[in-house]
Structure 1
Amino acid sequence: MRIVFAGTPEFAVPPLQMLLGTGHRIVAVYTQPDRPAGRGRKLTPSPVKQVATAHHIPVFQPPTLKAEEDQAQLRALEPDVLVVVAYGLILPKAVLEIPRLGCVNIHASLLPRWRGAAPIQRSVLAGDAETGITLMYIEPRLDAGPMLYKKTCRIARLETAGELHDRLAQLGAEALAEILPDLETGNIRPEIQDEAQVTYAAKLEKAEAVLDWTLPALELERRVRAFNPWPVAETQWRDTTLRVWLAEALDETARAAPGTVLDRERTLDVATGQGVLRLLEVQLPGAKRVAARDFLNAYSLKTERLGRPA
């Protein structure tokens, strides 16, 4: 098949690399325009562009695909299929009609659960026991197209969104490899999504990362996991911000007020609205991430209150 691949971030790299190892021809890669990155704000190519360039694949970076000249360019490539993975642009109806076999998207959830921008983080926040990858045809509505294939995985105890992201990226590549033969022959039966089962994964907001110590410890643990590596859970400590990278809910109770650091040796345990949250890895502004036991070598927090004053 003649394949056009559209993707931008690291999540899209494993499926692209998988396609490079097949007998199919990747005739072009579409990705977001280079963006400023790093302290020097130097224009930096996307991870997908870096892989495509290394393999001498033509790269196109239109700011949108609404312009007729950009659509004509894609049409001239005569793609059999357009594979889309976290591309970051909305595809107009005219673009969806170009590939002979349609446009296939890799989505990081078990649709129709968690349509939208942040399915990995929202599944962790919700305490889902499992998640996975859904391959679907793209249609104009958000993540609402007919489903082609699903691949499921368990969410591990204390697994962060970042760790789950990396596993799902690989799972997406595996799922795409498994469905390619049927896609090519047309031996595929799309399944319409059940609209009654739809949930939406809203974009993450930085304000969500501020820990509310009146919440149960288990919910706070999920927030810490879901917001690692971005935006990172945080709490106020004295006159500064303490970021919390890793934490674990303990199956015990505490009589102290929520946010109180318990009087314990070598552990950073905090009373919550229900239960105790053990902070495992923390970070102060301008400093490195450190294990809580190392942090306690430099600071004493016993009986102090974390969080903003009521």
Structure 2
Amino acid sequence: MKIIFAGTPDFAVPSLQMLLASKHNVCAVYTQPDRPAGRGRHKHASPVKELALKHAIPVFQPLSLKADEDLQQLLSFNADLMVVVAYGMILTQAVLDAPKLGCINVHGSLLPRWRGAAPIQRALMAGDEKTGVTIMQIVRKLDAGSMLHKEEYVIGANDTANDLHDKLAELGAIGLSKVLTQMEAGALHAEPQDESLVTYAEKLTKSEAIIDWMQPASTIA
């Protein structure tokens, strides 16, 4: 399949690596604009951009995809599918409708639990026994699309947010590969989310990073 990939941070890298190693044609990569980082505040490319450039994949970094010229650029690829992994940008309906098979997303939780920006951290903070990734169809409502596949992971007693991040990033690539295989075989089953089970993973605030030493050791950890 001819695929557009949209992603930005380290979490998205394993999924892009999987696509680049597959028989699929990654025709373009979309990622966030270079951002200042480090002590010198010099602009740095995203991990996804760095990987794409190593493989000579065209990279696009629009501030948004709302401008007509950006939409026309995306349409010009005549892609079969758009794969989105932690891109960090809300997609318009016109973008969602552009690829022949629509857009799918790799999300770092077992939906419908933990829709939103910080599913990995919220799962840990809530003391969840398991988490995972969900490959889903993208719709305009936040993380509300039908589910195509899940990969589960049992959270270990010593797992940190970084541990979960890396494990789920790898599981996301595995799940994505399975979905693409099923999609080509015409064997994909889309399961609607149960809205009664939805929880939201709000973005972490600075105040939540402050340690309350009166809490139990298990909570602080």
What do the CA deviations read for 1:47-81 (whole angstroms, capped 9, x no partner)?
Answer: 00000000000000000001111111100100100
Map 1:113-192 → 2, pairs under 5 A: 113-192=113-192
Distance 2:51 2:34 in 1: 14
Q: Secondary structure at the match of 2:69?
A: helix
CA contact (8 A) 1:101 1:183 kept: no
Distance 1:38 1:215 in 2: 33
Distance 2:67 2:187 in 1: 34
Whichever residue aligns with residue 18 of structure 2, its letter is M
> Deviation at 1:179?
1.5
Larger Rg: 1
Map 1:262-301 → 2, pairs under 5 A: none
Distance 1:68 1:33 in 2: 18
> Deviation at 1:189?
1.3
> Deviation at 1:109?
0.2
Which is helix-richer, 1 or 2?
Answer: 2
Distance 2:106 2:212 in 1: 34
Map 1:64-103 → 2, pairs under 5 A: 64-103=64-103
Partner residue of 1:107? 107
Partner residue of 2:47? 47
What do the CA deviations read for 1:258-306 (whole angstroms, capped 9, x no partner)?
Answer: xxxxxxxxxxxxxxxxxxxxxxxxxxxxxxxxxxxxxxxxxxxxxxxxx
> Deviation at 1:213?
2.9
Partner residue of 1:237? none
Distance 1:15 1:179 in 2: 12
> Deviation at 1:215?
2.7
Q: What stretches of structure 2 of length at least 5 have no aligned partner? A: none
What do the CA deviations read for 1:82-128 (whole angstroms, capped 9, x no partner)?
Answer: 00000000000010001111101000000000000000000000111
> Deviation at 1:212?
1.9
> Deviation at 1:219?
1.9
Q: Secondary structure at the match of 2:213?
A: coil
Aligned-residue identity in percent? 58
Partner residue of 1:25? 25
Q: Secondary structure at the match of 1:131?
A: strand
Distance 2:26 2:141 in 1: 27
Q: Secondary structure at the match of 2:83?
A: strand
Partner residue of 2:57? 57
Partner residue of 1:8? 8
CA contact (8 A) 1:31 1:60 kept: yes
Whichever residue aligns with residue 45 of structure 1, its letter is A
Q: What stretches of structure 1 of length at least 5 have no aligned partner? A: 222-310
Distance 1:40 1:97 in 2: 41
Map 1:183-262 → 2, pairs under 5 A: 183-221=183-221
> Deviation at 1:149?
0.2
Partner residue of 1:244? none
Distance 1:35 1:151 in 2: 32
State TM-score, norm by structure 2. 0.98
